Amino acid sequence: PRVMAVYGTRPEAIKMAPIVQALQGSAVGVDVVVTGQHRHMLDQVNAVFGIEPDADLDIFAHGQGLEAVTSRTLDRLTPVLREREPAAVIVQGDTTSAFAAGLAAFYLKIPVIHVEAGLRTPTIWSPFPEEGNRRLLSRITTLHLAPTPTARDNLLREGTDPASIAVTGNSVIDALLTTAGTSRPIADPTLAATDLDGRRVVLVTSHRRESWGEPMARTARALARVADSEPDVTIVLPLHANPRVRDIFVPALAGRANVVLTEPLGYTDFAQLTARAEVVVTDSGGVQEEAPSLGKPVLVLRDDTERPEAVTAGTAKLIGTDEQRVVDEIERLLHDAAHYATMANAVNPYGDGKAAARSVAAIEHLLGVGERLPDF
Ligand code: UDP
């Protein structure tokens, strides 16, 4: 049998890559179809993992709405599905294109496999549209690859058949562990030219829709204050390609010697930078999961999270985007060693680097060519 993996954004690619690699060496073949979103960042990730897409749907146009993403995904993926007749379609996470790709498969009665299934926030609107996309995907999914027992329990509470769920760990940890340990030279020219010797590094990323505008501006002002009051700290902020992110952070932070703004970093650069950082401040889902497995405390610039495991374990803290609070929480981690140690030493709840093997075993089992592995 042959399955088809469909993805388009950087985080989807990072989480899908270990599974695609493992499928390539399994009894199940895999075709890779990209949607064309985040094209440059996606190419970088595929290159790191040696993946060459078999088809590119080229769905994304500047300024198009979610309805256009949905309808274009349906229009362009359906003929590819008809032609290649995959035994199942694999999608990851909660983007609108992942949901629409699942829907295209569902309409052709092709089983849907959902990677990172079962994440939930309390209301369907938060974050919009991801929470809705997640819930909609769950209803048309045949095999739920849940990253953690918490995610499995969310699915069970909604009446999902337990036999359709495998708990795999999160494949982002597989990607990270195979990447962070490599000591490849830094590729980004700005980062490569930055001397971090003896510096305390605060790594920041912020790009989510819910942070756009005033919340992001408050974060930017808080970072400027930390930079000005902490001369031995270097804040490194890889900027997302989205101009809504750049237009806020660049004017607020440019011109400071101890703030480094870079282009989106390739995955090997970013993984090595995370390993080098003392504190991670982020609104990203993937970064929230990665940092704890490198023993880094994470301050989450959001009011709720579909990833409560690290908050419960104590390695992550939800701090929102109040300017004073962001300053205080960073300062506390920089100066309160006991507090720092408590967060840094908590156990990473997201995976053990074997999520891809468990996922592939569950996929083989679904397709009748193998046996499942025990849950994570
Ligand atoms: N990442 C990267 N380069 C960067 C910033 C992030 O490779 O400059 C990686 C990071 O390691 C993580 C993923 O991108 O695996 C997170 O993606 P993003 O924050 O775009 O999306 P989210 O996780 O919030 O969906």
Round to whole Å and give the CA distance between 28 and 12. Answer: 20
Given the cut 0.90, state whether the ipTM is greater than it.
yes
230 is catalytic: no
Q: What is the pLDDT of residues 60-85, one digit of tens each?
A: 888 899 999 999 999 999 999 999 99
**Which domains occur in the chain, in start order?**
2-169+354-366 (3.40.50.2000), 189-345 (3.40.50.2000)
From the candidates 12, 31, 116, 309, which is the catalytic residue? 116
CA 287/CA 11 separation, integer angstroms: 9
Closest ligand 1 atom to 239 CA: 8
Ligand 1: nearest atom to the Cα of 12: 25
Residues 101/73, Cβ–Cβ less than 8 Å: yes
130 noted as active-site residue: yes
pLDDT for the residue 311: 96
- The pLDDT confidence band at residue 37, using thresholds 50, 70 and 90, is confident
Report the separation in Å between the CA atom of 331 and the middle of ligand 1, taken as the mean of its atom positions: 24
Is 365 a residue of the active site? no
283-337 pLDDT, tens digit each: 999 999 999 999 999 999 999 899 999 999 999 999 999 999 999 999 999 999 9
Burial 162-184 (b: 16+ CB within 10 A, else e): eeebbbbbbbbbbbbbbbbeeee
| Omega prior to 127 cis, within 30 of 0 | yes
116 tagged catalytic = yes
The pLDDT value given to residue 302: 95
Residues 6 or more apart whose CB falls under 8 angstroms from that of 240 comprise: 205, 206, 207, 246, 264
- Largest Cα–Cα distance in the chain? 61
Torsion angle of C-alpha atoms 111, 114, 118, 123, degrees rounded to 10: -90
Active-site annotation holds for 40:
no
Nearest residue to 150 via CA among 289, 356, 284: 289
Q: Kindly give the number of the ligand 1 atom that is closest to the alpha carbon of 208.
A: 24
How far apart CA 186 and CA 269 sit, in angstroms, is 6
Condensed to tens digits (0 to 9), the pLDDT of residues 46-63 reads 999 999 999 999 998 888
Residues in contact with ligand 1 by the CB-under-6-Å rule are 10-11, 14, 172, 205, 207, 238, 264-265, 267, 270, 284-287, 290
DSSP 276-312: H-SEEEE--HHHHHHHHHTT--EEE-SS--S-THHHH
The pLDDT tens digits for 193-225 are 999 999 999 999 999 988 999 999 999 999 999
* Position 271 pLDDT exceeds 90: yes
Distance 326 CA to ligand 1 centre (A): 21
First to last CA, the chain: 26
Is 94 marked active-site? yes
Q: Which two tokens stand for residue 246?
A: 């750049």
pLDDT given for residue 183 in this prediction: 80
Please give the pLDDT value at position 107.
Answer: 98
Q: Whose CA is nearest to atom 7 of ligand 1?
A: 267
Q: Which of 240, 302, 307, 358 is catalytic?
A: 240
Tell me the residue ranges of DSSP E strands in the chain. Answer: 2-7, 29-34, 55-56, 88-92, 112-115, 143-146, 165-167, 200-205, 233-238, 259-262, 279-282, 298-300, 316-318
Residue of 188, 270, 272 best suited for mutating to test ligand 1, as the one with most atoms within 8 Å of CB: 270
pLDDT for 82 equals 98
Beta-bridged to residue 50, according to DSSP, are none
Measured from the Cα of 175, ligand 1's closest atom is 15
Ligand 1 pocket test: which of 242, 260, 287 has the largest number of ligand atoms within 8 Å of its C-beta? 287
